[in-house]
Amino acid sequence: MRAAVTREPGSVSIEEIDKPVPAMGEVLVRLAATGICHTDLSMVSGALPAPLPFVPGHEGAGVVEATGPGVEDVGVGDHVVLSIVVSCGSCYQCGLGNLSICEVGSAMAPGGLLLDGTTRLSNGGEEFHSLLCQSSLAEYAVVPSNSAVPIPKDIPFPVASLLACGGGTGFGAVVRRTTLWIGSSVVVIGCGGVGLTAIMAAKVRGATTIIAVDPSAGARAMAEKVGATHVLDPDGDRVLRSVMELTGRGADVAIDAVGRKGTVETAFQSIRAGGEVVAVGIDDASNEVELDLYGFMMQKRVTGTYAGSLVPRIDIPAALALYRDGRLPLDVLVSETYTLDDVPGLLTNEIRLPPGRAVVCFDQPEERP
Ligand SMILES: [Zn+2]
Ligand SMILES: [Zn+2]
């Protein structure tokens, strides 16, 4: 099969490697669409650690082509979203319902391995690591069956793929990690795939003041399109002052979908006493935050989330039902589609990522000669 491969930091090439075979509890999925997430770029550049060599891609959707032994929850021909939430189902965190921080998944995925501690990706004996148990910038991926979430067949794959990582993270950050409710105010810092979906989810939840912050005019325009009531440019506007003017006392909730120096701090300063911050993004593993202790005395709360703390088989179908209903306009995010041959350029900044989400689409079998 054809796959994007990173052998050294900063480089990506398209190579022919062996088609993987699913083992116990795994499924083989033929990819139809895979979104490009900033985490892919950070792992390719080395800003986030990733074991080399690896096949990037962790925002995939496609069709189940084969199942390994013991798989009963998905079948051949099912359309699936490949969630980055990979869970073993039997560890302490899984027992608590915290699937996104499963102890086995959290140990294996960053190390480039599947849940049994090995990889299915190889070429003539040379092994490749699996990015976040997925590696979906390839024609096929083998994933744990419980991270392959069946979806209705009429949902377009590019839309569905967004819920694998970025869209699912923004949706879950609001739905699973905040107490946002009718009439709430929320600040969303960073309007990429995560932030834009958080804006949509905040609107669904009933927030009436939704303030989007992003230096890109294109991203701000998209934020307005999906539900932001106000947009701010952090380079020109005085964000904190504007938030205070718009909310009277600071926002009820702030979501940091960027994770660069100063962004969590801005989120913390923009909330009211007793408000809450959810840290969602991180662009460099060495990033730290500095918060004023007095804010904690004022009962401000800070939390974070991996993958929006999604429960994939509940939250992904729910998000798609809202999409169908026109209330979660995920299709607006699919700004441009690309092919696998564009991936080296997309992951090394040679091709500038558009506002919203760049989605790589794969030829389907009936279209092949
Ligand atoms: Zn991602
Ligand atoms: Zn677990």
- 199 in a structural domain: yes
The pLDDT score that the predictor gives to residue 19 is 98
Domain co-membership, 67 together with 194: no
Q: What's the pLDDT score for residue 329?
A: 97
ipTM of the complex: 0.98
Secondary structure of residue 3 in the 3-state scheme: strand
Q: Are residues 187 and 251 in the same domain?
A: yes
Ligand (nearest to CA of 60): 1
CA 162 / ligand 1 centre spacing (Å): 9
| Residue 159 shares a structural domain with residue 194 | no
Domain annotation covers residue 212? yes
Burial of 316 (0-12, 13-18, 19+ CB in 10 A): buried
Could you tell me the residue range of the domain that residue 205 belongs to? Answer: 169-306
> What is the pLDDT averaged over residues 116-124?
95
Q: What separation in Å is there between the alpha carbon of 202 and the centre of ligand 2?
A: 29
Mean pLDDT across the chain, nearest whole number?
95
Same domain for 196 and 142: no
Instruction: Find the ligand nearest to 95 CA.
Output: 2
Give the distance (Å) from ligand 2 centre to CA of residue 325: 33
Q: 134 and 177: one domain?
A: no
pLDDT of residue 295 exceeding 60: yes
**Distance from the CA of 139 to the center of ligand 1, in angstroms?**
19
CATH number at residue 337: 3.90.180.10
89 alpha carbon, closest ligand: 2
pLDDT at 242 over 90: yes
Boundary residue ending a domain (256, 273, 306):
306
The answer to the question of residue 319 being in a domain is: no
In the chain, the number of structural domains is 2
Asked if residue 183 and residue 152 are part of one domain, the reply reads: no
Domain co-membership, 90 together with 178: no
Cα–Cα distances in Å, from 364 out to 4, 31, 149? 18, 9, 20
Mean pLDDT of 343-360: 94
Please tell me whether residues 41 and 122 are part of one structural domain: yes
Q: Which residue has the higher pLDDT, 48 or 225?
A: 225
Q: 367 pLDDT exceeds 60?
A: no
What is the per-residue pLDDT for 29?
Answer: 98
CA 253/CA 188 separation, integer angstroms? 9
